[in-house]
Structure 1
Amino acid sequence: MERIIGLIDMDCFYAQVEQRDKPELWGKPVIVVQHSRRGVQGGILAVSYEARGFGVKRGMTVAEAKQLCPDLATCLVPIGEYADKADIQKYRNASAEVFDVLNNFDSNIVVEKASVDEAFLDLSIYVDNIIEKFKEGVDLILPEFLPSSHIADGHDKNENDDERISRISTFLESSQNDISLLRLAIAALTIEQIRKQIRDKTQFFCSAGIANNKMMAKLVCARHKPRQQTIVPFKYVREILKTTPIRDVRGFGGKMGQKIQERLNIMTMGEILSIDFNKVVESFPDEHEWLLSVAEGYDSEPVKARSESSSIAVSKNFPGRNAINMVQELRQWLDGLTKELAKRLVTDQLQNKRTAENLVFALATEDGRPQKTLKLVSYHPDILIDMLWKAIKPLNKASDEQTWHPKIYNLYLGATKFVPGIPTANRDITEWLNSKGKKSSDEPLTDEIVFVHEEKKVYCPQPSTSRSDSVIVLDDDDDDEKEVPITEDDEEYIEVDGKRFSKTVFKNLPVMLRKQYEHKIALETARKLKMNAKSSRKRGNSLVAAEQSHMKKHKPLTSFFRKK
């Protein structure tokens, strides 16, 4: 049976994050500008839909955008703590809130993180369970249950609301006698609810596409943005692809799409089916069967359960005259980027209980792009920098020790091959606490990473500047983290996200990590205050009853159906 695939795509996500941080910007034209070197504003990273209405686009300069929209609000991406580059951690934190909703909606829905603001959902098992539960038949799903849904049939792009409702009504009526349409209808109803939960819990709006595969779900998601979702029954797929530019199809935006256009002299994906078969085979001897399948709307790529990124990386461009040509400058950038990478790796290790095994570096130079993979033996910045410099230094072809040749236009560092758990055999930084203790009280501490060698698996949720001997012990038979106060018997603790920190350790967490936990504490406090307020309005009701009342806002999907 055909799969049921959804794509959730956050609308202008970076702009929404800024609007949530500054509520006065909701409904106003906003751009998010990335950081550039030496205090100069860089390119436009995100454009709110309000700003798009004035003709503002990515790729414009801020000055050009403000000529089109004088009242445009400009938000700057934060600068990295260690490197003079953009730090998008606040957007990753906001993304984590969205994925928390997606991952906890129902265990039968497979969630794959496609990017910071996109997720593929496989709802096949979930939908079939609903149908099995009501196998004797279900009442007609009403159009009002799908208030932001559209049917993509090739003629829907400029539809008004009456036309939208007419298409939805026809689709729902047909679903009573067509199991493939019924499965799509149930998925659409489910995704309406998921999007509402995302909105209620994070304040963010999103759009969605519902289809039988990833390619079509991605394609139709953008069809009626923002704040809408689009369903494409398979019988309309060919009609849609007839007018779909090749480069708009997932996976064909680059060189492959360009090759198809040039070799077959066509512009839309559906045109492939009108080309003589022998010409397609001649032009693409190894890919012709796949291309013909795609042109018919097929895509077998599975949705793989994944909520974490498969790699963590930092990079920096040095275009034109900014190219690196001095050894000292390269060392400075390598130092800053390595510390940024280390901070992100430790945060990831704390959150996702996994550890990277490989460290990849790549340089974009005048002579090419040398790249090498190293064995990652520590997250300590000093160790990482030493490893990297030993591998990078021999690439210098300059005749003197101060100059670097060939010039470097991009520096990339990335960690890959993550494995579950936090092994300590190759993660010990045993001298860190001792070296901190030797510093004078007047000397400022810098953010570093701590892994204390103990008999058990031990780690500290860092980077941290703490002088405390407090550590977190992971028992071999228990994944729960337990704070072990070694030096202070009456230490006060902070509990957040299921973890227990001493206030000393918490206070000395790096700024970004501490803010992330403070944000979670604020959310939990707000939730409790809301529960208490409800409880006070309903005398005699317990907090549990108040929480149950709150949950009634999101009706279970089965409430929309009745057995015949």
Structure 2
Amino acid sequence: MINLPDCLKDSKCIIHIDLDCFFSQVEEVRLGLDSSKPVAVQQWSSLIAVNYAARVYGVNRLISIDEAKGLCPEITLVHVPTYAPNETEPHYHTTPSRITHKSALDTYYNEGKKIFKIFRQHCSQLQKVNSDEAFLDVTTAVNERLCTSYISKRPELMDYLTGSLDGVDGGYHVDWTTSSTHLIPSLNEKARGTSYRDPSSWFDIQLSIAADLTKAIRKQVFDELHYTCSAGIAHNKTLAKLGSSMHKPNKQTVIRHHIASQFMKDITFTKIWNLGGKFGKEVKCDYNIEKAGDLWKYPLEELQHKYGDASGLWLYNIVRGVDDEEVNVIKGSKSLMSTKSICPPITSEQDLIPWYAVLSAELHSRIITNWNERHLWPKTLSISYKNSKQSKTLSKSTPMLHQCEVETSEKLRQKVKVLFEDVLDDLFPCTLLGVHATGLAPVSNDASNNNDNHTIKSFFTTKVPITSASSRFEPSSHVNKQPAALSMNPNEDLPSTKPPLPTGLTWICDRCNAPVPLGDVDEHTDYHFAFDLDNEGHQTDDINRKKRKDCEDEATTKTTPVEKRIKHLFFKPSS
């Protein structure tokens, strides 16, 4: 096999793929709707997804249902599935009420899993951002194709494996048309017209192969699932994510190596991934900047003096398109849950009873799905609850039922009922209910053949914390630079992902600020995904503020002096 050109030894190929208006597409496919017609998905009185045909009329997720109908009378509105009182399966109810019903988003989540299954057929180095968005590090596959097929079919390249391609007669030009890829033009290309292309480099060849692979992935998603997606291809995650948003919908964009800094110069500063929250806004205010290039005139030393060594260096690099953050493969979640925010509050046990069946049924469905997919069974069943008299969320736990006892959700409901009956004195007026299955782990043969899979050994193991609407996440002494996914509250001004911090085994969520073990990141991002869309419209609920405060307190007491300095920047008290 031909050796990889020297200049590509440390060069990465990163793809960012983002489904176009994913929830809308799920409903279009399910109902056989024409994607060229306006469609939006609603939850209660809010829009949570709007397709591009509806956006032409000015419809967006920030407006009300009535406003959407006024702007676009022909729009098709589809409400997310919901559980009605005592239901054990969700349905597409005609007029669900958030007082009596619970939204069920597993339809979309399960479709997302089908998409990720396709992604994994092409790439094992995959980082889930949320249920319809991911980074793929395809460097290994691309370099293998480059060495085994691309170079050997182009003999003019054989003499240039240790240097640039400048010596190729007439310059070497990649044929980008084969992958139907959009290129961000260089200044030279803009000046000389659309038919001109800069001579290609080895970096361009590497990205062109990644573009071909991206096209194949997108085609497979459409052929098998009928969903379109947009993609960005670049040498790092920041550029790839910016690229995927450049030519939506259903297109892919390459950010080439030699135009990276030029491309970044005119990018809106707060549109850069990780700079959309408090840190980005603070930097923007400090320097009165709008574009990434506006920060170029400030020296590295000044940025490090102002924001700390790690943060300053990261900021200096990122506005120039330099990003060495790895694509982190996240393991599956270690807990499952079903939660419901209650408004108006429940004040009697009689009003509580219908929710036993609903929450147990949803959790049961997730437990069984997880067992079938990953062959893991939870060790602990827990409930969480909150009343309007106090700010903290309380919980109670018990050993999980054995698999043979959970063929249906009924025995789980009975167990949940007993747990809630034990805490009735603290429960009312109730504003939050949750049921959780934690400690997912393989089941031993002995346990499988025993009606009680909780042996003596289990009493000497560390308990797994609940991931719920106000759980506290224990930070470790190290903080990973890994960015996060979704906001718990779209309207709350929480800080975005931090610049790189000392590498370790945890990950800092850019929305709730929780340091999360890498093994729990998938679960944590799913939590944000679900909570964002299932908060029953109570976007001012103090669950988020309490969780953020808990994480700030823990971060202050369990970090090194350097980390304390950095965290001071990102964990500022709310005014």
Q: If the TM-score is normalised by the length of the shorter chain, which range does it land in?
A: 0.5 to 0.7
Q: Is the 8 A contact 2:379 2:439 kept in 1?
A: yes
Match of 1:104 in 2: 121
CA distance 1:135–1:89, change in 2 (3 Å): closer
Letter matched to residue 56 of structure 1: V
1:150 Cα deviation from its structure 2 partner: 1.2
Q: Which of the two has higher C-alpha Rg?
A: 1
CA distance in 2, matches of 1:25, 1:130: 38
- Aligned residue pairs total 401
> Aligned-pair distance for 1:192?
0.9
Instruction: Give yes or no for the alignment of 1:315 onto 2:339.
Output: yes
**Relative to total residues, which structure has the larger strand share, 1 or 2?**
1
- Superposition map of 1:28-47 within 5 A: 28-34=37-43, 36=44, 42-47=45-50
Give the Cα–Cα distance (whole angstroms) in 2 for the partners of residues 323 and 247 of structure 1.
38
**Partners in 2 of 1:193 and 1:4 — Cα distance?**
16
C-alpha displacement of 1:227: 0.6
Q: 1:301 to 1:218 in 2, by over 3 A?
A: same
Residues 16, 135 of structure 1: CA spacing in aligned structure 2 closer, same or farther, 3 A cutoff? closer
Match of 2:197 in 1: 170
The one-letter code of the counterpart of 1:87 is A
- CA positional deviation for 1:349: 1.2
Q: 1:227 aligns with which of 250, 254, 259?
A: 250
The yes-or-no answer on 1:385 pairing with 2:385 is no
Change (3 A) 1:25 1:292: same
Shift of the 429–315 alpha-carbon distance from structure 1 to 2, 3 Å rule, reads farther
| In 1, Cα distance between equivalents of 2:366 and 2:77 | 27
> Partner of 2:566 in structure 1?
none
The answer to whether 1:350 aligns with 2:365 is no
Classify the secondary structure of the residue corresponding to 1:20. helix
Please give the residue correspondences for 1:125-274 in structure 2 after superposition, counting only pairs within 5 Å: 125-134=140-149, 136-139=151-154, 141-147=174-180, 149-153=181-185, 166=195, 170=197, 174-175=199-200, 178-274=201-297
Q: Which amino acid in the other structure matches residue 38 of structure 2?
A: P
Q: How does 1:496-507 map to 2 (within 5 A)?
A: none
Q: Deviations over 1:316-353 (max 9, x none)?
A: 3345xx24455554565465324312221221111222
Structure 1 spans left out of the alignment, 5+ residues = 37-41, 397-402, 432-450, 454-564
Residues in 2 aligned to 1:141 and 1:373: alpha-carbon distance in whole angstroms: 62
C-alpha distance in structure 1 between counterparts of 2:236 and 2:396, whole Å: 34
Question: Percent identity over the alignment?
Answer: 25
In structure 2, what is the Cα distance between the partners aligned to 1:363 and 1:47? 33
Q: Is the aligned partner of 1:122 residue 2:144?
A: no
Aligned to 2:428: 404
> In the aligned structure 2, how far is the partner of 1:56 from the partner of 1:303?
35
Q: Structure 1 residues 184, 388: CA separation in 2 closer, same or farther (over 3 Å shift)?
A: farther
Shift of 1:230: 0.8
Q: CA deviation at 1:126?
A: 0.3
Scaled by the length of structure 2, what TM-score is found? 0.61
| Aligned Cα root-mean-square deviation (Å) | 3.6
Q: Which residue of 2 aligns with 1:457?
A: none
Match of 2:70 in 1: 67
State the distance in 1 between where 2:321 and 2:77 align: 40
User: Residue 355 of structure 1: SS of its match in structure 2?
Assistant: coil
Alignment deviations for residues 150-172 of structure 1 (CA, whole Å, 9 cap, x no partner): 1235789xx9xx97x64xx726x
Q: Give the Cα–Cα distance (whole angstroms) in 2 for the partners of residues 318 and 331 of structure 1.
A: 13
* Native 8 Å contact 1:362 1:369 kept in 2: no
Give yes or no for contact 2:356–2:413 (8 Å, CA) kept in 1. Answer: no
Q: Higher relative contact order by CA 8 Å / sep ≥ 6: 1 or 2? A: 2
Q: What TM-score, normalized by structure 1, do the two folds share?
A: 0.62
The 8 Å contact of residues 13 and 206 in structure 2, kept in 1 or not, is answered as yes
Report the Cα offset of residue 114 of structure 1. Answer: 2.4
**Cα drift, residue 179 of structure 1:** 1.6
